[in-house]
Chains A and B, each alone.
Chain A
């Protein structure tokens, strides 16, 4: 067991197949990469590992997913009613059953901050895992009366035993910054919501200590590839002080302070370099332009 914990891929497999007991699995996504692909992947792994009843609670999914055993439309239900409905499908806590339950909520953002912890507590139990999707980019208004209460995401982060954070894999022709920029104007860049995405897995041990790993997930081939976080030393590999030793009497290495200063220098025309399409000169006459048509040497273009 302990060895497997140190192998990220095996750990991920265990998490996705819900092999380990984890009452609250939190999936954090954004519109750049929504978590529907992840949920399908969880289903793919879980069905191999055993008998699962999947209860799908829909706040924003209109089409019943093919894998859902029970599909509950939550949009018209009050929170109390919703809790009761879910409870009616779950086994009573004093009578353990063989089959396991997975409760999927497609968007826990719809449950208000002051009810969220109670709601999660009522569902996550020994026999059922709650897989809650949280849209990180859905803005939320903090009521004045809850000014000092933690926000929903803080609460969920605190309670969750496993956190799966989904992120887009940036394609070649779009930088992270451009994507951010577009998204901040309600504009969805191309090439997002792909079959391949990045997943950051954080698991909590019983003590509450957490471990974090990153993967590239390909949902088409169901292959997972661990991203080995490059250590800071590797990142600056091309400048190894030892290589410069003895080459000259000059001091060729840079100190940490110098490096810092170097990094902070803003290169000129960085703006200009961000143009990825060809430029064109568009000239239009303005009232103050003095242009003589008959002068052959005066060409505004």
Chain B
């Protein structure tokens, strides 16, 4: 694969990853990232954080990294249900992004101890309060579907209506990373709630990014495919559009490279 031309990551037609037209304070948009347990989206999330803070995914395109000068914590907020602060701090430090340049909300550590037994609506509204009210900011939310397993009786609709939608309203761009590790055709109530949750995210999204392993299984020189497609939401408020694309990517030793398929 070494002779194959490396590609730069582009999501929008203005050759950007996070377009300038997003997060202007006038619109609220959603990008959904789906990943499988075999192809974790963590590298993509850190890349997006980097893009937001430095302007471009330098580590991915392996051009020289400019020094981050601003200290605005509201530029990007990261919230994760499966990783704690340390994990992100370590990974972002490696990209020379210090903890003062972003806000981290730890939804893993002691989440259960603090929240189980409370009414669902209260848990969700308290969660919401943790996020800054700033319609120019970006929020990355990792695996919110975990809530469906933790809060007894929570339905996908309730999660969307009481958490995802209000959170979209609070920020300029919400990026949800969700793990697709179940088949969409499950017939049990829980399985339906999970599928419904993802479908609900798709309808709200302007773009959907999917990471999945190759159908042929493991390969030494390809980790998986990375597909960028339009979502169900209207993008008529933007002058740029989502550039649909499919890359092959190789994630190795904390480095990721993109190739055209």
Q: How far is the CB of A74 from chain B (nearest CB, A)?
A: 8
Flag A100-124 by CB within 8 Å of B: 1 or 0 each.
0000000100100000000000000
Contact of A37 with B234 at beta-carbon distance under 8 Å, contacts A60-B204, A62-B169, A191-B244 already known: yes
| A-chain residues with CB within 8 Å of residue B202 when the two chains form the complex | 31, 188
What's the minimum C-beta distance from A202 to chain B, rounded to whole angstroms? Answer: 22
State whether B184 touches A190 (Cβ < 8 A). Answer: no
- Collect the chain A residues with CB atoms within 8 Å of residue B166's CB: 75-76
Bound Cα distance from A75 to B210, whole angstroms? 27
Interface residues of B in 164-218 (CB under 8 A from A): 165-166, 168-169, 180, 183-185, 189, 192-193, 195-196, 198-200, 202-204, 208, 210, 212
Cβ of A225 within 8 Å of any chain B Cβ, yes or no, is no
- Residue contact B180 to A110, C-beta cutoff 8 Å: no
Contact B210 A141 (CB under 8 A): no
CB of A66 within 8 Å of the partner chain: yes
Closest-by-CB residue of B relative to A40 is B236
Q: A85 to nearest B CB, angstroms?
A: 15
Contact B236 A192 (CB under 8 A): no
Would A139 and B246 be within 8 Å (CB), given that A40-B234, A184-B185 are in contact?
Answer: no
- The answer on a CB contact under 8 Å between A192 and B237 is no
* Complex contacts, A191 vs chain B, CB 8 Å: 244
Q: Are B196 and A190 in contact (CB under 8 A)?
A: no
Tell me which residues across on chain A come within 8 A of B198, comparing CB atoms: 186
A128 at the B interface (CB under 8 A): no
Q: Does the CB pair B192–A140 fall under 8 Å? A: yes
In the complex the two chains form, is A63's CB within 8 Å of B28's CB? yes
Chain B positions within 8 Å of A66 at CB level: 236-237
A214 at the binding interface (Cβ < 8 Å)? no
How far in angstroms is the closest Cβ of chain B from A153? 14
B152 in contact (CB, < 8 A): no
Please name all residues of chain B whose beta carbon is closer than 8 Å to the beta carbon of A167 when the two chains form the complex: none
Contact indicator A190/B169 (Cβ below 8 Å): no
A36 in the interface (beta carbon within 8 A): yes
Interface residues of B in 221-241 (CB under 8 A from A): 227, 229-234, 236-237
Report the minimum CB–CB distance from A157 to chain B (whole Å): 20
In the complex, whether A187 has a CB less than 8 A from a CB of chain B is: yes
Stretch touching chain A among B39-47, B86-94, B95-103, B155-163: B155-163
B256 at the interface (CB under 8 A from A): no
Cβ contacts under 8 Å, A189 to chain B: 229
Minimum CB distance partner of A29 in chain B:
B232
- Name the B residues within 8 Å of A184 (CB-CB): 184-185
Chain A residues near B29 (CB, 8 Å)? 62-63
Size class of the B contact interface (CB-based, 8 Å):
35 or more
Smallest distance from the beta carbon of B159 to chain A beta carbons, Å? 11
Q: Check A193 against B230 for contact (C-beta < 8 Å).
A: yes
B160, B196, B245: the one within 8 Å of A75 (CB)? B160
For the residues of A in contact with B, the DSSP-based class is: loop
B residues less than 8 Å from A141 (CB atoms) = 189, 192-193
B31 within 8 A of A: no
B202, chain A: closest CB distance, angstroms: 5
Interface contact A31-B199, CB-CB below 8 Å: yes
* In the bound complex, CA of A111 to CA of B34 (Å): 27
Task: Determine the distance from Cα of A188 to Cα of B183 in the docked complex, in whole angstroms.
Answer: 15
Complex Cα distance, B30 from A66, in Å, reads: 18
* B234 in complex: contacting residue of A36, A107, A135, CB < 8 Å: A36
Query: Nearest B residue to A188 by beta-carbon distance?
Result: B229
Q: Determine whether the beta carbon of B229 is less than 8 Å from that of A192.
A: yes
| Residues of the B chain whose Cβ atoms lie less than 8 Å from the Cβ of A137 | 199
Q: Are B199 and A192 in contact (CB under 8 A)?
A: no
Q: Is the beta-carbon distance between B232 and A62 smaller than 8 angstroms?
A: no
Residue in contact with A62 in the complex, picked from B168, B189, B236, B246, CB distance below 8 Å: B168
Using Cβ atoms and an 8 Å threshold, which residues of chain A touch B200?
60, 138
A129 in the interface (beta carbon within 8 A): no
- A34 contacts the other chain (CB 8 A): yes
Q: A75-B160, A141-B189, A141-B192 are in contact. Are A62 and B165 (CB under 8 A)?
A: yes
Interface positions of A from 178 to 221, Cβ below 8 Å from B:
184-193
Q: Are A110 and B157 in contact (CB under 8 A)?
A: yes
Contact B196 A138 (CB under 8 A): yes
Minimal beta-carbon separation of A166 from chain B (angstroms): 11
Query: Is B84 among interface residues, defined by CB-CB distance under 8 A?
Result: no
* Shortest CB distance B12–A (Å): 15
Per the bound structure, the CA–CA distance linking A60 and B199 in Å amounts to: 12
A230 to B: closest C-beta gap in Å: 30
**Is B61 in contact with chain A by the CB < 8 A criterion?**
no
Does the CB pair B233–A34 fall under 8 Å?
yes
* A-B pairs, 3 with minimum CB distance: A34-B232, A62-B28, A36-B234
Binding site for A on B (CB under 8 A): 27-30, 34, 157, 160-162, 165-166, 168-169, 180, 183-185, 189, 192-193, 195-196, 198-200, 202-204, 208, 210, 212, 219, 227, 229-234, 236-237, 244-246, 261
Given contact pairs A186-B34, A190-B229, enumerate 15 new A-B contacts (beta carbons under 8 Å). A31-B199, A60-B203, A61-B204, A61-B234, A63-B28, A65-B234, A110-B157, A135-B199, A139-B184, A141-B192, A186-B180, A186-B210, A187-B34, A193-B229, A193-B231
